[in-house]
Structure 1
Amino acid sequence: MDSITHIALGACIGEAFFEKGFSKKAMLWGALAQSIPDIDFVASFWMNTADDLLAHRGFTHSLLFALLIVPAMAMTAEKIHRPHDISFKKWTLFFTAEVLMHLFLDGFNNYGIGWLVPFSDVRFSFNILYVADPLFSIWPGIAFIMLFLVHSHHRLRPLLWKIGLFVPFLYLAYCVTNKLTIDKEVRQQFAEQNIPHQRYFTTPSPLNNWLWYVVSGDDKGYYIGFRSVFDSKPKIDFTFFPRNDSLLKPVADHEDLQQLIRFSQQFYTVEKWNDTLVFNDLRFGQILGWRNPKEKFVFHYFLQQPDNNKLIVQRGRFTGWNKEEILYLLKRIRGN
């Protein structure tokens, strides 16, 4: 989930938790608490790119971190606001709700989150929401702005925080329904087209929850296609990408390669661009792949040029987007 949405949701939870008159201060605490797990961004200042990929949404997004940070924040807030009639228990419940909400929501997109770090390296990802979904974020965003504009005792405040919290979660339930529908349809296509699916996933394409990116395969390679919830034809057109593990022999002992394989959860391919080896993490989709099935992947890491891998997850995300491409995406969303 993007940082702005976390801040807006955190503020709405703060409003919901506390009495009138204190609510704007609680909104600020809520926004801060929702942002705390993302403090792992500072790791990028000294870590190399491969290590930083695993550090993000690692320990600071774990249940152990939540267990440590919640009482620290509760004690800090309790001390700052003395004298007051807010119990330490209420502060603790408030910060617990805030931090766990952050960890819960980050599990819904495809990056992966280490809830069990440092006891387990397993990453959890439900692949239900795109990292920035306007239809999820707009409601807490509007509520957040309005709650700051109206005075602390305004009669609309209870309605505003309810809109900011309940409407996005109703939308999330709709997204779960889309996910279940798409997964059922793609499994039928795997069977009909004899596509190996020892490993597969479906995840939304950028900024929507109707057009889904589908990846399925094994150690030989992966079949990739797109499926809209509005498609009328059952068939999915898949394109095969060989995994090309044999190309990795010259760099097999590189530490960054082992980190990348772990981060990709085995969903990767390798290519050679001229004389450069490129590692593709398939989970982040293709650049305009719904138009050109052979397009490059958003996440591509230059194995022999590690210094050229800054902003690796974002650098290809919106490359080539213009009015024509946006209209084509909308057309593809409407169905084949």
Structure 2
Amino acid sequence: MDSLTHIVLGACIGEVFIGKKFGKRALLLGAVAQSLPDIDFVASFWMPTTRDLIAHRGITHSLLFLVLVSPLLAWLADKWRRPHNIAFTTWVWFFATELMTHLALDCFNAYGTGLLEPFSHKRFCVHAMFVADPLFTILPLVVTIALLFMRTDHKRKRWAAISIGWCIFYLIIDVVNKSIVEAAVYRATGKKNITYRRHFTTPTPLNNLLWYVVLEDDKGYHIGYRSVFDRKEDVDFTYFPRNDSLLNPVKDLDELKDLFIFSQGYYTIEREGNSLVFNDLRFGQMTGWYKPRAGFVFHYYLQRPYGNNMVVQRGRFANWDKAVFKSMLHRIKGE
């Protein structure tokens, strides 16, 4: 999830756990605690881009990190500003809940999370939420701001609990919408006799109503879009070949080996000018519901590694304008 969501949800959890005894400092401590796994961003200062892609959401997003760090943070907090009347077990549960919430939320979007690091490099990904969803974040954001000024103790905890409840409810909506889309894709591919060996569905930017669908076969991918409000049974797919043969001149590149791991095998290769481009399909297309042949958000220049700054982010809202936004709204409505 985006940093803002972790900060405000962490603050609300802090209020519920220790707000009554720790005051408004609980908001700050909660925000910091839930943001802690993202300390791995410092690796980007010295790691090559592709190694950094693999390192992010790695060991600091693992269950081992949670188990080791929660009691350590609890011990430090217990020693801080004594005397206080917060039990050590309360500190442990507080930090464990903050860290577990961060890990669970990150599993919901496309990047994937290394829960079993360093014992396994498998990335866990539910593909049920876009990395930033305003409707998910808005209530804990408003509540966190209000808590900075609110004084009544019982109202503070109640509002913090309501915001956490909203987030849980919204995650349930995500899962329900995903199941609706999955069922529709299953029916559509059956009618079209499309065979595939694996697939995923994931939300398009800033919503959980219009979904991006990728079906993989031996030579490439069928890519389409499905709204939870679509009335027709059919899904319109556009085919993208994988183009593995284009990789022969660069097959020994270290960056390429990293990208194979990072993409979990969902990739295509294309030529752009004098450079080969590696597309990671998991992050979607740039306005693909509007232009089915649109380029992909994550595109890495294999022969121009110096041109890959912000590779995950740079294409996320590229080519957006008023027409694109209106087309998304129409597509969400099933039109």
Which amino acid counterpart does residue 318 of structure 2 have in structure 1?
A: T
Give 3-state SS (helix, strand or coil) of 2:148's partner.
Answer: helix
Which amino acid counterpart does residue 317 of structure 1 have in structure 2?
A: R
User: C-alpha displacement at 1:156, in angstroms?
Assistant: 2.1
Give the 3 Å change call, closer, same or farther, for CA 214–19 of structure 1 in structure 2: closer
Preserved contact between residue 34 and residue 99 of structure 2 (Cα < 8 Å)? yes
Aligned pair count reads 335
Q: Does 1:217 align with 2:216?
A: yes
For residues 277-296 of structure 1, the aligned pairs below 5 Å read 277-296=276-295
Q: How big is each residue's C-alpha offset from its partner over 1:272-310, in whole Å with a ceiling of 9 and x where there is no partner?
A: 112210000000000011010000000000001111101
Corresponding residue for residue 102 of structure 1:
102
Structure 1: 5+ residue runs without aligned partners? none
User: C-alpha displacement at 1:147, in angstroms?
Assistant: 0.8
Q: 2-side partners of 1:19 and 1:154: how far apart?
A: 8
The percentage of counterpart residues that share the same residue type is 54
Give the RMSD, CA atoms, in angstroms.
1.1
Corresponding residue for residue 258 of structure 1:
257
Q: 1-side partners of 2:100 and 2:49: how far apart?
A: 27
Q: Does 1:13 align with 2:28?
A: no
For residues 172-321 of structure 1, the aligned pairs below 5 Å read 172-321=171-320
Preserved contact between residue 286 and residue 316 of structure 2 (Cα < 8 Å)? yes
Q: How big is each residue's C-alpha offset from its partner over 1:116-161, in whole Å with a ceiling of 9 and x where there is no partner?
A: 011001000000010001111111111111111112x344212210
Q: Does 1:23 align with 2:19?
A: no
* Mean CA deviation greater in 117-126 or 62-71: 62-71
Give 3-state SS (helix, strand or coil) of 2:199's partner.
Answer: strand
Q: 1-side partners of 2:244 and 2:302: how far apart?
A: 13
User: C-alpha displacement at 1:23, in angstroms?
Assistant: 3.2
Q: 1-side partners of 2:267 and 2:309: how far apart?
A: 19
Q: When the two structures are superposed, what TM-score results if normalisation uses the length of structure 1?
A: 0.97
Q: 2-side partners of 1:196 and 1:309: how far apart?
A: 34
Q: 1-side partners of 2:85 and 2:20: how far apart?
A: 13
Q: 2-side partners of 1:106 and 1:23: how far apart?
A: 29
Preserved contact between residue 204 and residue 284 of structure 2 (Cα < 8 Å)? yes
Corresponding residue for residue 142 of structure 1:
142
Preserved contact between residue 19 and residue 157 of structure 2 (Cα < 8 Å)? no
Q: 1-side partners of 2:190 and 2:118: how far apart?
A: 38
Give 3-state SS (helix, strand or coil) of 1:219's partner.
Answer: coil
Q: 2-side partners of 1:310 and 1:60: how far apart?
A: 23
Give 3-state SS (helix, strand or coil) of 2:229's partner.
Answer: coil
* Mean CA deviation greater in 68-77 or 202-211: 68-77
Preserved contact between residue 50 and residue 259 of structure 1 (Cα < 8 Å)? yes
